[in-house]
Structure 1
Amino acid sequence: MDFTPTEAQQDLARLTGEVCDKLVTADRLRELDKAEVRFDEALWHALAETGVLAATLPEAVGGSELGIPEQTVVLRELGKSVAAVPFLWSIVLGASTLARYGSAEQREWAAKAGSGQAVLTVALSEERNWDPAAPTTTAAEDADGWRLTGAKTVVPFAAQADRILVSANVSGAPAVFLVDPSATGVRVTPQQVVDHSPDAEIEFDSAPAQLVGSTDTGAEILTRLLEYGWLGLAAQQLGTLERALDLVAEYGREREQFGRKIGGFQAVAQRLADGYIDLQGLRLAVTQAAWRLSEDLPAAAEIHTAKFWAAEAGHRIAHTVVHVHGGVGIDRDHVVHNYFTAAKHNEFALGGATDHLRALGDLLAERD
């Protein structure tokens, strides 16, 4: 087991970081906070033009055959800049899934996503249903094809998406469908979330849909979407927390109180040390889970561990950053605010710490 980043991973991380550093400034983040839609189209187009979007997709859809370890390094860099772009949802989940399981027509959407011509997203969460692996949205086939009925909540970038991958129940088994959000029977309603990401609730009323793969591969596709989604959120959270901890450490070195730098106070130093330990735990968990996936090894426990750390460490570090900054930490015009809300969003997206701890418990029980 060698966790040393490859040259390709280092180059991709460097390129993504350079694009973000150039375009995602503190002023730009403040503009996005006040914008009607928190979607950085300039950054999204720049990532497409530099080849970052397509790099981790299969060659068949215009990619470079890089995999999940490379996707995690991109997400980590995007997390450092709290970038308002749907890389996780459109590329890691949407395009990668269609490229692997989709029909020829569906793979064209994967290619369009990789070139930045289209945005994809996924609808996995449902209100009052804490298990996304068992969707309550239903799908039935008639003479005209498949129809979806039900509702999904907190769907990322739903209003900006050209196509949405939706999990549904078919005769008691999960399946995944591709839906046009502008089709008859689909209603998209914006929702307000903690970091003002453009999430939405989607209602389906006999909405037309295309089956992705087959009903026999539905459980496999949904499991892949969930595992890559959980790991992707953990990788994004890693970058967000790394930068947040850098910001609070820098503040501790500069801010003076009672004639001393506040970083020299024992209570502050201890909280920063605890944050560092939390960060190392998350980094190891993300790296291990990504490596196991890339080697086609069972990774469910490692992925749940990574998402648990993302939630647990995210909560502690986010609050440390705000507390140490004092009044500045709750100023919505200060960049720290963006890192706090981004960390809280990543903490709860697709399940919080308790959900993944329960999943780990179930896996351990099965082993016994």
Structure 2
Amino acid sequence: MDFDYSSEQEALRDSVRRFVEREYDWERRFALIRSPVGVDPAHWAVFAELGWLGAGLSEEAGGFGGGATENALIAEELGRGLVTEPFIAHVIAAQLLAAVQSDTVTDLVMGEKRIVPALQEAVGRGDWRIVESEASGAFSITGVKTLVEGAATADRLIVSARSTQGIGLYLVDAQGPGVTQKAYRTVDNRRVADIDFNTAPAIQLAVGAAAETAMDQAVDHGIVALCGEALGLMDAALWATRDYLKVRKQFGTAIGNFQALQHRMADMLIETEMVRSLLYHALGAINGNDSAARAAAISAVKATVSTAGLFVGGQAIQLHGGIGVTEELNISHYYRRLFVIARQFGDDDLHLDRFAAAVDSAA
């Protein structure tokens, strides 16, 4: 199997890396996370201009001919730079709209509309398949969705709700009647909102098996991109720690020469490379026809990220010592983001259960 990226994919990676280096230095990021909305609208315009918003969609779906690999590459580089733009939410929204063949996907790819998914509820604890919100009448939504990233700047929301026909997907005006947002900041400085829908008018996109299939596939794409971001965070934390151990001295020598610390760095490297390998496996399975194999591969990497990410982030902080937990150093920010990712769209327990169920169904 060839694990090398194509020249187009390498060019995509380089463009994201250059953006982070040019537009997202540490001082600018600090200013953004302390601002009311936590993002810079001009950055999203750059994402659209450079084609990143359509990089993960086929040409038939309205994108630029890429797929999950392109999304993972973009997310990995954004993770290295701790970029706060809600790219993962965009990936899920784009896949949902493409699956239901909505014309709105063009507006999304061109950056003309901001559309984000509202799929999670408190009762589900990250499990998007648990839906208690209700759709009734001529399509009005009642219920509460939690941890909706990018809601404050969104034009529309893609909401999952249950009706007499089963679970459906609905398009709702983010600032429309019957929609109340309670915005807050998570521990990793992302802006999210809990959204209360009180008979909010909606447009039905899909219902029943078509909606559930679209939702599962879209969230799987989002999880793969999320794991790509985690890989970028882990890799950045690993090498930042290596560089620190080379210059921090104790007893007249760099502490990186101490064998005990070298062993801990080796453990961090092993965990990072394990996530990388499982991510490659998930990328190979995501477009296959075997839904059980896809679910198993994606849950395997997500469960591993949920534990390995916290291990690498925690070791990075410990090896830096007291300075590792300070606001001014990027190490603590890597850990905070990895902490949130560990629970986003399900923790390791949820994905171990999903992995086991997928393996049993394939047996």
TM-score grouping bracket, smaller chain normalisation: over 0.9
Of 346, 351, 357, which aligns to 1:351?
346
Alpha-carbon contact 2:61-2:101 (below 8 Å) kept: no
Q: CA deviation digits over 1:175-216, x for unaligned, max 9?
A: 211111111111110133111201110111111111113434
What TM-score do the two structures reach when normalised by structure 1?
0.92
Instruction: Give the match for residue 98 of structure 2.
Output: 99
- The number of equivalent residue pairs is 360
Written as runs of structure 1 = structure 2, the 5 A alignment for 1:279-358 is 279-298=272-291, 299-358=294-353
Out of 147, 150, 153, the position equivalent to 2:146 is 153
Alpha-carbon contact 2:54-2:64 (below 8 Å) kept: yes
Structure 2: how far apart are the matches of 1:132 and 1:302?
Answer: 18
What amino acid is aligned across from residue 27 of structure 1 in structure 2? Answer: E
Structure 2 residue aligned with 1:133, among 129, 132, 136? 129
Q: In the alignment, is the contact (CA less than 8 A) between 1:17 and 1:77 conserved in 2?
A: yes
Q: 2:264 aligns with which of 247, 250, 271?
A: 271
1:201 to 194, 198, 201: 194
Task: Write the deviation string for residues 254-290 of structure 1: whole angstroms up to 9, x where unpaired.
Answer: 1112212111222321221111011111111111111
The alpha-carbon deviation at position 2 of structure 1 amounts to 2.7
Q: How far apart are residue 326 of structure 1 and its match?
A: 0.9
Name which of structure 1's ranges 56-65 and 30-39 shifts more when overlaid on structure 2.
56-65
Secondary structure of 2:152's match? coil
CA drift at 1:295 = 4.0
Moved runs in structure 1, 4+ residues, more than 6 A?
Answer: none
Structure 1 residues 317, 188: CA separation in 2 closer, same or farther (over 3 Å shift)?
same
Contact 1:134-1:169 within 8 A present in 2 as well = no
Distance in 2 between the 1:262 and 1:165 partners? 51
Once the two structures are overlaid, the 10-residue window that deviates more, 163-172 or 63-72, is 163-172
Aligned position for 2:49: 49
Please, what TM-score do these two structures have when normalized by structure 2?
0.94
SS of the equivalent of 1:121 reads strand
Shift of 1:79: 1.0
Work out the CA distance in 1 between the residues paired with 2:272 and 2:109: 31
Structure 1: give runs of 5+ residues left out of the alignment. none
Unaligned runs of at least 5 residues, structure 2: none
Deviation at 1:117, TM superposition (A): 2.1
SS in 1 for 2:113: coil
Tell me what 1:237 maps to: 230
> Per-residue deviation at 1:334?
1.6
When the two chains are superposed, the root-mean-square deviation of aligned CA atoms in Å is 1.8
The sequence identity of aligned pairs, in percent, is 28
| Residue 86 of structure 1: aligned partner | 86
- Mapped to 2, the partners of 1:32 and 1:259 lie a distance apart of 40
Aligned residue number for residue 183 of structure 2? 190
1:164/1:181 contact within 8 Å kept: yes
Q: Is the 8 A contact 1:190 1:200 kept in 2?
A: yes
Pair 1:181 & 2:177 matched: no
Q: Kindly state the Cα deviation for residue 15 of structure 1 after the two structures are TM-superposed.
A: 1.1
Q: Is the 8 A contact 2:224 2:282 kept in 1?
A: yes
For 1:9, the equivalent position in structure 2 comes to 9
Mark the CA change 1:40 to 1:297 in structure 2 (over 3 Å): closer, same or farther.
farther
Aligned mates of 1:54, 1:226 — CA distance in 2: 17
**Is the contact between residue 139 and residue 203 of structure 2 (CA under 8 Å) also seen in structure 1?**
yes
Match of 2:18, SS state, is helix
Deviations 1:301-321 (A, max 9, x none): 000011111111111011111
Bigger Cα displacement from structure 2, 54-63 vs 351-360: 54-63
Which residue in 1 is equivalent to 2:23? 23
Task: Check whether the contact 1:40–1:84 (CA below 8 A) recurs between aligned residues.
Answer: no
SS at match of 1:64: coil
Contact map agreement 1:75 1:235 (CA 8 A) in 2: yes
2:123 alignment partner, SS class: coil
CA distance in 2, matches of 1:172, 1:275: 48
CA shift for structure 1 position 51 = 2.1
Secondary structure of the corresponding residue to residue 213 of structure 1 = strand
Q: Deviations over 1:336-356 (max 9, x none)?
A: 222121111211111111221
In the aligned structure 2, how far is the partner of 1:172 from the partner of 1:279? 44
